Structure 1
Amino acid sequence: MADSNDSAGPEQPARQQPPRWLISLYHEQSAALCRYLRRKYGAGPPEPEDVMHEAFSRLAALPDETIAIIENPRAFLYRTAENLLNSERRKRAVRSAHAAETKYLEKTSSECTPERVILARDQLNIAEAVLREMPDMRRRCFLMHRFDDLSFSEIGRRLGMTPNGAKGHVMRAMTEIVSALEASSRRSGIKPE
């Protein structure tokens, strides 16, 4: 007849207790480590308590030979906790950036119809034609302001005119481009974007 313990299935390995030095270190440093993480990095996420527990888990998982060469277990814990926290924050930042980019791409892809692409291309062609017909100084001021992102003062300095003179050229250029786009939209019946 079989022993009643045989029917319970395979024997579970005995749970190994952490070494006394680790238990002692945990009691001495866990609260201080949490306070340090909270003071330096804030309440989370990730939670300072979770980071602290993971740091102790990493220390406990090290082989005895590695633990033997750690000169300052407290410093090891603090460095491990900071590395874990920084790594988690980087991962969260990447996930957040990816989510924002995905949301932007989803939004723009739904707006990017063939009709809109053709309209944008037509508007660009109109703007280029107007720019080609402008007086040289007006075109240069406009391009320096809109594409080189220069201030009116800087444009004036580079071209030997006052900032108000540069601003006047840019405003006239913009007025000419907008007028040409509006005239084109009236002819086609499509509003420019």
Structure 2
Amino acid sequence: MAWYTADDIVQDTFLRVVTTPSLPDVKYAQAYLYRTAQNLVIDHFRRERILRFVPDSEKSLEFVASDAPLPDQIVWSRQELRQLQNALNALPAPLRDVFILARLEGQTYVEIGEKLGIPPQTAFSRMVRALTLVKEATDMGEKN
């Protein structure tokens, strides 16, 4: 490990300790400081070990797997969305209204009851029925 790497680790240790919102009790401060430095050294050597397999460490990010979905995942997700949309469209209006208010607008059953002029228990039972019908419809769509 080069001297500049050691300096970097000391600096990173200092930054970690200074920016920690709740430091341990003073009697554990030295152990906490050493443990932080030790973890940073371990992380450094892990990175070094991985970078040995990369021809150009400056371009190492090119070798990291992309988070972007694969084309087949995109197609599958779109199919699922279509199935869900079809299932929602097939719901009777009272059930669909409760579903949309609860799941898309994040309203409580009390709020939904007030908005639709129904008791909260009715809003809840409509939601249970809507979820059951949506699940059945999407399960049927998966089988086809």
Structure 2 segments unaligned to the other structure (5+ residues): 1-16, 21-63
Alpha-carbon distance in 2 for matches of 1:167, 1:185: 27
1:16-165 matches, cutoff 5 A:
44-45=18-19, 109=67, 112-165=69-122
Aligned length: 85
C-alpha displacement at 1:107, in angstroms?
7.7
Identity %: 22
The code of the aligned residue for 2:108 comes to: S
CA 1:107–1:151: 2 relative to 1, 3 Å: farther
What SS does structure 2 have at the residue aligned with 1:109? coil
- Tell me if structure 1 keeps the 8 A contact 2:87–2:138: no
Higher relative contact order (CA 8 A, sep 6+): 2
Cross-structure match for 1:167: 124
Does the Cα contact within 8 Å between 2:101 and 2:107 map onto a contact in 1? yes
CA distance in 2, matches of 1:171, 1:156: 14
TM-score of the two chains, using structure 1 as the length reference = 0.40
The structural deviation recorded for 1:108 is 7.4
TM-score (norm 2): 0.53
Gaps of 5+ in 1: 1-42, 47-105, 188-193
Which 4+ runs in 1 deviate beyond 6 A? none
State the distance in 2 between where 1:108 and 1:170 align.
Answer: 38
* Offset from partner CA, 1:48-89 (integer Å, 9 cap, x none): xxxxxxxxxxxxxxxxxxxxxxxxxxxxxxxxxxxxxxxxxx
Q: Which has the larger Rg?
A: 1
